[in-house]
Amino acid sequence: MPVQMIQKATYQEALEALRSDEMEAAWICGFPYVVARGFVRLCAQPGWHGQPWYQSYLITSAKRTAPHSLPGLKGDVFAFDDPLSNSGYLVPVVALRSLNQTPQNFFRATFFTYSLHKVVEAVASGLADSGTVDGYIWEVLLKNGSSSALKTRIVAKSRHYGFPPIVTRKNLDMGLHLRLQNALLKAQTTQQGRALLQSLDLESFLLPQEAWFLGIQELTEILNGTHPPIPLSEIYESA
């Protein structure tokens, strides 16, 4: 099956490309999946350490001995990833609701990097005092000896959420959807597939389940005001 790779700058652009039929499939975050359920469907779930889960990490400079929780970041310049990122936006913003705070009154300043790697770079360089990042990305950067990751440390880890899924647009021919799904689910059985998985530091692709995204659905409802805030302890664990 020939595949053309297209990289979009934001999750919103990726969703618009799916909605307009510019793309057939995309690897997106769980938050945009929840938002776009009306026109996308789950295709495959990357398996990290064999599991369909990941965590959002709050990070800061390795030189800072404190803080060790979200409240300790008050007054920081804070780096977000993308407004439609679960780990890079939704998790900490909803956590602030638990403290009756917003990013505007809790942090000294905030900005978006539109790249999880750039969140790590921003914190490492001192452009940001702290930030929020996909734990999978941070762990892979650290494993590969990234100088930026080595200059940061984890402040807190979130509970587990559904790993960013691969989706297809709902109006895609079901036969093509199933061919792509089958190719991904069998990736570990072919040389080319194993090379792809190894390059991503993944073990396999899993058959996705809607239940894996219930946690992100809950956060989305809190953000939209249709669900009451939940305790901070139900969002972040200790580092």
CATH 3.40.190.10 fits 11-52+162-216, yes or no: yes
Domain with CATH 3.40.190.10 in the chain: 11-52+162-216, 56-158
pLDDT of residue 215: 98
Q: Model-level pTM greater than 0.75?
A: yes
Q: What is the CATH number of domain 56-158?
A: 3.40.190.10
Separation of alpha carbons 195 and 30, rounded Å: 25
Tens-level pLDDT at each residue, the chain (239 residues): 677 888 999 999 999 999 999 999 999 999 999 999 999 999 999 999 989 999 999 999 999 988 999 999 999 999 999 999 999 999 999 999 999 999 999 999 999 999 999 999 999 999 999 999 999 999 999 999 999 999 999 999 999 999 999 999 999 999 999 999 999 999 999 999 999 999 999 999 999 999 999 999 999 999 999 999 999 999 998 75
The answer to whether 52 touches 162, Cβ cutoff 8 Å, is yes
pLDDT at 4: 84
